[in-house]
Chain A
Amino acid sequence: MVQLSVEGCPLQVPATSSILQAMVAAGQTLVEGVGCMGQGVCGSCRVLVRRTGDSEVRTALACETLVEEGMQVAFLEYFTPAARHRYRMDELGDSWDALARIGEVFPEAEHCRHCGGCDRACPKGLDVQRGVNQAVAGEMAASAHVFDECVMCNLCTLACPEHIRPNHLGLFVRRMLASRSLRPSDLLRRLQEIERGEPAIDFDAPGARPPV
């Protein structure tokens, strides 16, 4: 068993528990800040963690983090900034305007002061700051790649003193890249066939009926 505290409340739970499971095991109400329960993809269970003997408070996802003796945990509220970037994918023009659009939608991005706060905040260990700088430089593919495994937990957004919202910038770049450049030949061809009415479904084909 391990003793830890969540929101100042002492809990005693099996050592193999994640922080979320510790909450459940301790009989606590758990109806927010929870989602995929261990897969680590929904970014909902954001916590601040201080471990015994460590002066620094670190960010983490509660479903992925195993409890440790003496650990102190606080959940992070999901803040929604009053004003955020606004754009519509279908109003962004063609890809020649990409760099201008990045500047318009995320004007703060070029103000990055290289403090590394986003990198420290990222529970997935992504090179967030590099991704931001690459986006500003127009290196879109490289920037998109940085945010490949981003779960949109918004912890980097929370950490950025320039209000850059790095994860949203990363997603913007990814979306631009896909919507403005991804044109697979096999998909184009099948869409064209369907438009021509070629592959119609035969409901009476032998394979559409149960075997006798």
Chain B
Amino acid sequence: MASGIPYDLARQRWQVGATPPKRADEVSVPDLLKGYHPDHGPRARVSLAVGVNRGDPCQPDFAAHLQANALIDDVHIAGAQLVTTDVLVIGGGGGGCAAALTAAKDGARVILATKLRLGDSNTVMAEGGIQAAVGADDSPQRHFEDTLRAGHFCGEPELVAQMAMDGPAVIRWLIELGMMFDLEDDDRPLGGKLLRKKPGGATAARILSYRDYTGLEMMRVLREAVELEPGITLWNRCPVVELLSDDHGRCAGAVVYNLEWRCFVLVRARSVIMATGGAGRLHLNQFPTSNHYGATGDGLVLAYRIGARLRELDSFQYHPTGIAYPRHLAGGLISEAARSAGATLINGEGERFVDELQPRDVVAAAILRECAEGRGIERGGQVGVFLDTPSLEKANPGILAKRLVTLRHLAKKCGHDAAQEPFLVYPTLHYQNGGVAIDRHGATGTPGLYAVGELAGGIHGRNRLMGNALLDIVSVGRRAGAAAAAQPADGGTLWGRAGIGHVHAWQRELTLAGLPLDVKAPQLFPTYAHFDLGADAGLGAGMPAHGVGGIR
């Protein structure tokens, strides 16, 4: 990593409670992004050589996964157990749960398969909150316009409008399930007002939250609801390794790998709802990530292989305030709630250098510029800038203890007191802005296949606002669940031929494009998980034994 101004010197230049000068900045926002945001650098994109998006730009590391061969072939699933269901939901985060609960309520038999354990997801890690236009000074129209503008007008207006209008009903649904929200006056649940915060890049205070662990509050409620729902069969530790297709190009189910039993299971389903999340744990551009361990882009790879169109494949969100120091926590997230509450960013010269409440891509690019131009702060080999929590606490005594609880815990883990010492922060790979193209019901271009949440694209354009992810997953999740459950039980879809014919077509395409067949995806776990599906499942003779078992 680049060098910067030594930490001790930077500490001398920074003073708690001072109003630091803001550096004059002549650079326009487009130039700032072009110069410093990873989406815009020289290594920002390559052109895809295979699949429905052939010729479209894609982030290079991610392209390698999209253009890879399948993990399995016919022979590996020849004798596999076959299970049928109406709706198969893949992914156990908020989006998968919302979809499964809705489908089950509408009378469908649902299997929910998840790679780790129900709830292990980016949802549970979300801190900031969820957007919904409920304030008297706010409206769904403003929410709609703010979202489009923040996404650089690349979002699909239809989808954005639907999400903005869904907002209040989504909050109601969550409350009915038993999720709590912060109120302006905690003692007045009946008839009080929701506490609202203003997200960076928005024109009104629209973030609803529960403390600064909104995702935890949401996920524990959704998880309990799913676990107690008789219409849902839950399969923990069952990652999807391939989709099933029929003769008509429909998605007809999926091949799941049961990590407990070390065997493949074929699931025939009338509809498959993919809710596997994003790709942060692929560490694109070698960035640290704030993402959950399981976020390895599995669903994106599989949806693309079966023929679903993707969009904005070259647009990722680098959250401005990841932890830079200490190294063992690098990449962990410091919620935007801190900046939203007024915490400023300070460089090694003791200056402010950006309006902290600009959209995330702008703030991240500004931090990357400070570090690239030597005004970053270096500590223990890590470079970043200060997030000034002590001045925030001084200006709002008690705010760290009352409103930013997680921040205080985080500081403790970093080995300091957030009221005394600023955090060292650096942008962290946070969100996949694009994904599988969907319609208003979450349906993809492949019949029978739905996409929900971070895996889906089209709502956030090329940059996502804080709080829109939690809204997106529930809004689209409920709609996809309802649409999937409404698929007519015509008998044919569950009994026709289904297999991995699309994989064979894909392999031909790879060969014709001169791409290697020995590169396989999805990756299922980060590289440092030391997991090899081939070895674990005992595929093929002479497989190297490494990766089997481990000490757990």
| A residues with CB within 8 A of B | 6-9, 14, 16-18, 21, 23-24, 27-42, 44, 64, 75, 78, 86-90, 144, 148-152, 168, 171, 174-179, 181-187, 189-191, 194, 199, 201-203, 205, 207-210
Contacts and interface: CB of A to CB of B under 8 A. Distances in A.
List the 7 shortest-distance A-B pairs measured between CB atoms, nearest first.
Answer: A175-B178, A29-B550, A207-B145, A201-B161, A210-B153, A35-B120, A9-B551
B329 interface: yes
Contacts of B179: 175, 178
Contacts of A152: 119, 220, 223
Interface stretch (B364-372, B394-402, B474-482, B523-531): B523-531
Given A29-B529, A175-B221, A207-B149, A16 B193 contact: no
A35 B125 CA distance: 10
B119 A205 contact: no
Given A41-B213, A175-B224, A182-B180, A32 B116 contact: yes
Interface stretch (B52-60, B167-175, B265-273, B510-518): B167-175
Nearest to A175: B178
Nearest to B180: A178
B172 A28 contact: no
Interface residues of B, number: 80
A78 B124 contact: no
A88 B228 contact: yes
Contacts of B236: 78
Contact of B552 (A7, A35, A175, A209): A7
29 contacts: A17-B328, A29-B552, A33-B552, A35-B124, A37-B292, A37-B293, A38-B332, A38-B413, A42-B120, A78-B117, A148-B211, A171-B178, A171-B224, A178-B181, A179-B177, A181-B189, A182-B175, A183-B190, A184-B192, A185-B192, A186-B136, A187-B171, A187-B172, A189-B134, A194-B140, A194-B165, A201-B144, A203-B161, A208-B157
Contacts of A89: 176-178, 225
Nearest to A40: B409
Contact of B529 (A31, A151, A208, A209): A31
Contacts of A36: 120, 124-125, 292-293
B552 A28 contact: yes
B15 interface: no
Contacts, number: 205
A11 to B, nearest CB: 9
A175 B549 CA distance: 39
Contacts of B142: 207
Given A36-B124, A207-B145, A207-B149, A186 B237 contact: no
B405 interface: yes
B164 A201 contact: yes
A168 B227 CA distance: 12
Contact of B117 (A7, A23, A44, A64): A44
Interface centre among A30, A64, A149, A150 (most CB of B within 10 A): A30
Interface centre among B175, B179, B190, B220 (most CB of A within 10 A): B220
Interface string B497-519: 00000000000000000000000
B42 interface: no
B142 to A, nearest CB: 8
Contact of A32 (B168, B220, B259): B259
B169 A42 contact: no
A32 B552 contact: yes
A31 B259 contact: yes
B327 interface: yes
A210 B133 CA distance: 22
Nearest to A36: B125
B358 interface: no
B328 A87 contact: no
A64 B413 contact: yes
B134 A182 contact: no
Nearest to B224: A171
Given A30-B552, A202-B141, A186 B135 contact: yes
Given A175-B177, A208-B144, 8 more contacts: A29-B549, A39-B332, A39-B333, A89-B177, A178-B175, A183-B191, A185-B192, A189-B134
Contacts of A40: 409, 413
B418 to A, nearest CB: 16
B216 interface: yes
Contacts of A39: 125, 332-333
A30 B431 CA distance: 23
B473 interface: no
Contacts of B220: 150-152, 171
A175 to B, nearest CB: 2
Contact of A203 (B157, B181, B327): B157
Given A150-B220, A182-B175, A190 B133 contact: yes
B194 interface: yes
Given A35-B120, A208-B145, A199 B140 contact: yes
B212 to A, nearest CB: 11
A165 to B, nearest CB: 11
Interface in B120-148: 120, 124-125, 132-136, 139-142, 144-145, 148
A140 to B, nearest CB: 11
B20 interface: no
B168 A191 contact: yes
Contacts of A8: 551
Contacts of B157: 203, 208
B347 to A, nearest CB: 26
Contacts of A30: 525, 528-531, 550, 552
Contacts of A21: 328
A82 to B, nearest CB: 14
B183 interface: yes
Nearest to B332: A38
Nearest to A88: B228
A57 B149 CA distance: 54
A151 B216 contact: yes
B178 A44 contact: no
Given A39-B333, A149-B405, A185-B193, A194 B531 contact: no
A8 B190 CA distance: 54
Interface in B411-431: 413
B319 to A, nearest CB: 13
A29 B292 contact: no
Given A33-B552, A34-B116, A179 B293 contact: no
Nearest to A27: B530
B496 interface: no
A174 B153 contact: no
A209 to B, nearest CB: 7
B550 to A, nearest CB: 3
